[in-house]
Amino acid sequence: MEQEVLSYSLLEMAAKGGWIMIVLAILSLVAIYIFGKKLWLITKASKIDRYFMNDIQDYMNAGKIQSAKTLCAKYDSPIARMVEKGIDHRKKSLQEVQTAMENVGNVEVARLEKGLSGLASIAGGAPMLGFLGTVTGMIRAFFNMANSGNNVDITLLSGGIYEAMITTVGGLIVGIVAYFAYNFLVGRVSALTAGMDTATMDMIDILEALPAEVEEKE
């Protein structure tokens, strides 16, 4: 007598994981949304001409202050907003200029990092939910076995074991993907922050090299 071979699709296997798989599916959608939104914002914030600071220096040296501010307004970038703040404070001490620019930078970084904690929570929480499914699944398997008396049937155990194994795999997959996504975004924010620090120092150097009184031509 041939033994019947059972096969399941990924969706059918996931369904056997129980309600925890629904929670993991929701978490995965939330993680995708956070990742997509933050990646778009960070990419947008990073777009600025490579010669931006050179152009700012040329305008400042020529006394074209308004042209420099117009150039800053052209870019929707934290670096441009920091430089514009530095231009506004150009008549103050270099320490005050640096402080003003750093304050703007801190606000911009906080805006970019907003929501990343949710992605980190999913990275840490999803595997724990998977392990919770493992525990509840094994409890159900042993409960069914205990209630079966002396007539232990493997089919009584299969449901609980499926739930235990599938939720573990599901939780690990969601957690691992969210973990790498979080670290990728953190790396992008760190790279942008380094560029902002460089722009601050460049702006300080530009202002320091200007004559005491620059004739504004605009």
- State the pTM of this model: 0.80
3-state helix/strand/coil string of 113-181? HCCHHHHHHHHHHHHHHHHHHHHHHHHHHHHHHHHCCCCCCHHHHHHHHHHHHHHHHHHHHHHHHHHHH
Burial (0-12, 13-18, 19+ Cβ within 10 Å), 136: middle
Q: How do residues 159-187 score in pLDDT, each as one tens digit?
A: 566 667 788 888 899 999 999 999 999 99
pLDDT at 7 exceeding the cut of 60 = no
**Residue 71 has what DSSP assignment?**
H
- The pLDDT-based confidence of 12 (bands split at 50, 70, 90) is low
User: How high is the pLDDT of residue 5?
Assistant: 43
- The CA distance from 167 to 140, in Å, is 14
